[in-house]
Amino acid sequence: MILTVADLDVAYGKARAVSGVSLHVAEGEMVFIVGRNGAGKTTLLKTVAGFLAPAAGTVTFDGRVTNGLPAERMAVRGLRYVFQDKRVFSQLTVRENIELAAYPTGVKMAAAIDTVVGIHPGIRRFLDSKAGGLSGGQRQLLLLGRALIGSPKLLLIDEPTEGLAAGTIREVFTVLSGMKGHLSMVIVEQNLPVVSQLADRIYAMREGRILGELTEPADIKDRAKVEAFL
Amino acid sequence: MKTICRFERWRRVDILLVAAAFLLLAPVLSVQRTTDFMIFCIFVLAYDLLYGHMGRLSFGHMLYLGLGAYAAALCAEHLNDNPFFALFAGTLGGALAGVILGPIVVRTTGACFALINLAFNQVGYFLVVAAFAEWTSGENGMSASFAPIGGFDLGNRYLMFGVTLISLLVVVLLMRRLTDSPFGLLLRTIKENERRSIFLGYNTYLYKWLAFTISTAVAGFAGALSSLNYAFVTPSFIDPARSVEVVFAALIGGAGSVYGALVGGVAFMAISNYLPNFVQRWEMFLGVVLLLLVFKFREGIWGYLLRLQTARLGEKSR
């Protein structure tokens, strides 16, 4: 397993946001976490990424218990987090955004640019433009491409299609499809058609707990079953 | 959407232009006054690394200038009156302050960062004026005399001008290299969104500490140069009330740019040195300038000029 979460509790002060969550991700698996707003999905991802410290339970990433390991160490170890808000470093150019992602990995700039352009060929003409001028969809594709620099071991992606136009959702879907089977991913998503078509397994969360898990491909492809599962 | 700025093409010769500018200024203002201007520009460059590039506003940067000035003077008095050794001592004094105070200071942001620096500045001022008055001569200040080196006496104003000009050019080159490097890029991302930098794999705490120490070291260097220039050090070199001067200069010139720091340093020194000759309450004029900056010219003089140039180039390309 590339990721194992066991009996995880996460609290904001006295408010418990995640309670007794256990899940696992095998190498190359694409696991989705679905649930309504406020279910604790993002809190779970942030805790796995090292930004929040769990109150109880363990996170084991790539064979090592990583409780207490800060987020920058997790990133160096090969865990990448793509945030929900699609924020890039808007005052820097696209090229500088890529350079920043490449530098800690030791990947050369040319290879890093190739990685990002491989995701979104159209970004090449914006390399020397301020990243803040990109559309929401372009930023999302830049962020996905940036996350792939340096051959990460696990991607955590928070609502990649949220707020995007239909055409851009198709582009993101194509990118994620291309990564399926090659890269381990945990994706928080509320777009059920995307979930149904891509997921290897689905966890449903509500009020900070795991409700259940869908593992059968037939069940996953059945959108009605996924909706009922929620 | 590629934007080209004609000013960028001058970067290969900008050091020569900076040198030429101050060489032309010297006969106009006087050699000694131009030396003052250059020392202040070095201080603004030091400050702008923190404020303009990293986005951390300090209200106590005079502490590091003052530490450098007193370190140089005390070094000359008690250890070695070689002026270059004194410069080293001043720089080291500033750097040590950064190394020691940095771990505390860089954990804070926003108003806390501004005020914690002010608090340390107040402490430093008290130490100079009272606690260590036996060493520093307290409110009276202390003289700083430096030995000539191989026949070169830095008491000669032309020689001092030359040393200061070379020092300024070195600092400009250093700051340009730093801010153009991945390190400078990271500082700007810390300014914009530190959390995202962390998730890319950067230990931002260490980088902030390093930037802080470089800033305090260069401020200390400016302080040591002041010591050499005036051959006298007073508590005004470490006065917290004067910390706002470097903030004004960075804002006037345009924060986040080496050239903005130079323009701001010269502009502020010109206002504070010459305006009192014409306007009794010149500080009120400075207040009006600040209001104009906040409401109309947020990017400062240099930033405004760059924007004009970019807009003109954009029109020409249509």
User: A138 and A33 in one domain?
Assistant: no
Contact criterion met (CB < 8 Å) for A49 and B199: yes
Contact criterion met (CB < 8 Å) for A99 and B204: no
Residue A133 at interface with chain B, using a CB cutoff of 8 Å: yes
The contacts of residue B86 (CB under 8 Å, 6+ apart) are: B71, B72, B73, B75, B76, B80, B144, B146, B224, B227, B228
Residue B277 at interface with chain A, using a CB cutoff of 8 Å: no
Residue B81 covered by a domain: yes
Cα–Cα nearest to A150, from A99, A63, A78, A82: A78
User: A47 and A18 in one domain?
Assistant: yes
Nearest CA in chain B to A128: B2
For the cut 80, the answer to whether the pLDDT of residue B194 exceeds it is: yes
pLDDT at position B289, please?
A: 80
Compute φ and ψ for B68, nearest 5 degrees.
Answer: -65, -45
Residue A29: CATH number of its domain: 3.40.50.300
pLDDT at position B4, please?
A: 42
Instruction: Tell me the per-residue pLDDT of B91-110, one tens digit each, with 9 for 90 and over.
Output: 999 999 999 999 999 999 99
Overall average pLDDT of the B234-239 stretch: 96
| Sheet of strand A201-206, all strands in order from the earlier edge strand to the far edge | A79-82, A154-158, A184-188, A30-34, A201-206, A209-214
Choosing from A110, A135, A151, the residue where a domain stops is A151
pLDDT at position B8, please?
A: 56
Contact criterion met (CB < 8 Å) for A89 and B188: yes
Query: How far B191 CA sits from the closest chain A CA (Å)?
Result: 10
For chain B, the residue count is 318
For the cut 90, the answer to whether the pLDDT of residue B308 exceeds it is: no
The contacts of residue B214 (CB under 8 Å, 6+ apart) are: B46, B49, B98, B178
For the cut 90, the answer to whether the pLDDT of residue B309 exceeds it is: no
Instruction: Tell me the per-residue pLDDT of B36-87, one tens digit each, with 9 for 90 and over.
Output: 999 999 999 999 999 999 999 999 999 999 999 999 999 999 998 899 999 9
Chain A residues whose CB is inside 8 A of the B197 CB are: 100
Alpha helices in chain B (DSSP H): 6-9, 14-29, 31-48, 62-78, 83-105, 110-126, 133-136, 157-180, 182-199, 204-230, 243-253, 258-274, 282-295, 300-317
Contact criterion met (CB < 8 Å) for A83 and B201: no
Contact criterion met (CB < 8 Å) for B199 and A81: yes
Contact criterion met (CB < 8 Å) for A104 and B196: no
pLDDT at position A180, please?
A: 87
Chain A residues whose CB is inside 8 A of the B196 CB are: 83, 87, 89
Residue B132 covered by a domain: yes
Instruction: Tell me the per-residue pLDDT of A156-168, one tens digit each, with 9 for 90 and over.
Output: 999 998 888 888 8
Chain B residues whose CB is inside 8 A of the A126 CB are: 1
pLDDT band at B12 (very low <50, low <70, confident <90, very high): low
Contact criterion met (CB < 8 Å) for A128 and B186: no
Closest CB to A128: pick one of B2, B188, B199. Answer: B2
State the residue range of the domain holding B224.
6-241
pLDDT band at B317 (very low <50, low <70, confident <90, very high): low
Residue B214 covered by a domain: yes
User: A135 and A25 in one domain?
Assistant: no
pLDDT at position B9, please?
A: 60
Residue A181 covered by a domain: yes
Residue B269 covered by a domain: no
Q: Reduce the DSSP state of residue A65 to 3 states and report it.
A: strand
Residue B197 covered by a domain: yes
Dist CA A41 CA A117 (whole Å): 30
CB A184 within 8 A of CB A108: no
Residue A93 covered by a domain: yes
Pairwise pLDDT comparison (A80 vs A226), residue with the higher score: A80
User: A15 and A109 in one domain?
Assistant: no
The contacts of residue A82 (CB under 8 Å, 6+ apart) are: A143, A144, A147, A155, A156, A157, A158, A160
Chain A residues whose CB is inside 8 A of the B1 CB are: 125-126, 129, 133
Residue B270 covered by a domain: no
Instruction: Tell me the per-residue pLDDT of B63-74, one tens digit each, with 9 for 90 and over.
Output: 999 999 999 999
Cα–Cα nearest to A183, from A91, A79, A83: A79
User: A212 and A168 in one domain?
Assistant: yes
Name the average pLDDT for chain B. Answer: 90
Contact criterion met (CB < 8 Å) for A100 and B199: no
Overall average pLDDT of the B211-240 stretch: 96
pLDDT band at B269 (very low <50, low <70, confident <90, very high): very high
User: A112 and A53 in one domain?
Assistant: no
Query: How far B299 CA sits from the closest chain A CA (Å)?
Result: 14
Over pLDDT 90: what percentage of chain B? 73
CB A226 within 8 A of CB A195: yes
Closest CB to B196: pick one of A87, A103, A129. Answer: A87
Overall average pLDDT of the A52-75 stretch: 91
Residue B196 at interface with chain A, using a CB cutoff of 8 Å: yes
For the cut 80, the answer to whether the pLDDT of residue B255 exceeds it is: yes
Dist CA B54 CA B23 (whole Å): 31
Q: Number of structural domains, chain A?
A: 2
Residue A166 covered by a domain: yes
Nearest CA in chain B to A85: B196
Residue B297 covered by a domain: no
Contact criterion met (CB < 8 Å) for A72 and B185: no
Residue A126 at interface with chain B, using a CB cutoff of 8 Å: yes
pLDDT band at B7 (very low <50, low <70, confident <90, very high): low
User: A137 and A25 in one domain?
Assistant: no
Residue A83 covered by a domain: no
Q: Whole-model pTM?
A: 0.90
pLDDT at position A171, please?
A: 87
Interface confidence (ipTM) of the complex: 0.86
User: A173 and A65 in one domain?
Assistant: yes
User: A107 and A145 in one domain?
Assistant: yes
Instruction: Tell me the per-residue pLDDT of B120-134, one tens digit each, with 9 for 90 and over.
Output: 999 999 999 999 999
pLDDT at position A67, please?
A: 86
The contacts of residue A54 (CB under 8 Å, 6+ apart) are: A8, A9, A10, A18, A47, A67
Cα–Cα nearest to A78, from A9, A27, A32: A27
Overall average pLDDT of the A9-17 stretch: 88
Overall average pLDDT of the B189-211 stretch: 94
State the residue range of the domain holding A143.
88-151
User: A166 and A143 in one domain?
Assistant: no
pLDDT at position B2, please?
A: 39
Dist CA B278 CA A46 (whole Å): 60
Pairwise pLDDT comparison (B318 vs A1), residue with the higher score: A1
Choosing from A100, A122, A151, the residue where a domain stops is A151
User: A67 and A109 in one domain?
Assistant: no
Residue A153 at interface with chain B, using a CB cutoff of 8 Å: no
Could you say which residues from 10 to 69 on chain A have a Cβ atom under 8 Å away from some Cβ of chain B?
49, 51
Nearest CA in chain B to A49: B199
Nearest CA in chain A to B204: A72
Query: Which tokens is B212 given?
Result: 């802080």
**Residue B298 CB coordination number (10 Å):** 12
Dist CA B222 CA B194 (whole Å): 30
Dist CA B118 CA B247 (whole Å): 13
Name the average pLDDT for chain A. Answer: 90
Residue A6 at interface with chain B, using a CB cutoff of 8 Å: no
pLDDT at position B3, please?
A: 41
Dist CA A210 CA A39 (whole Å): 9
Q: Number of structural domains, chain B?
A: 1
Chain B residues whose CB is inside 8 A of the A51 CB are: 195, 198-199
Residue B248 covered by a domain: no
Closest CB to B193: pick one of A80, A89, A105. Answer: A89
User: A162 and A174 in one domain?
Assistant: yes
Cα–Cα nearest to A176, from A163, A193, A206: A193
Residue A109 covered by a domain: yes
DSSP 8-state code for residue A130: B
Instruction: Tell me the per-residue pLDDT of B134-175, one tens digit each, with 9 for 90 and over.
Output: 999 999 999 988 888 887 888 889 999 999 999 999 999 999
Q: Reduce the DSSP state of residue A208 to 3 states and report it.
A: coil
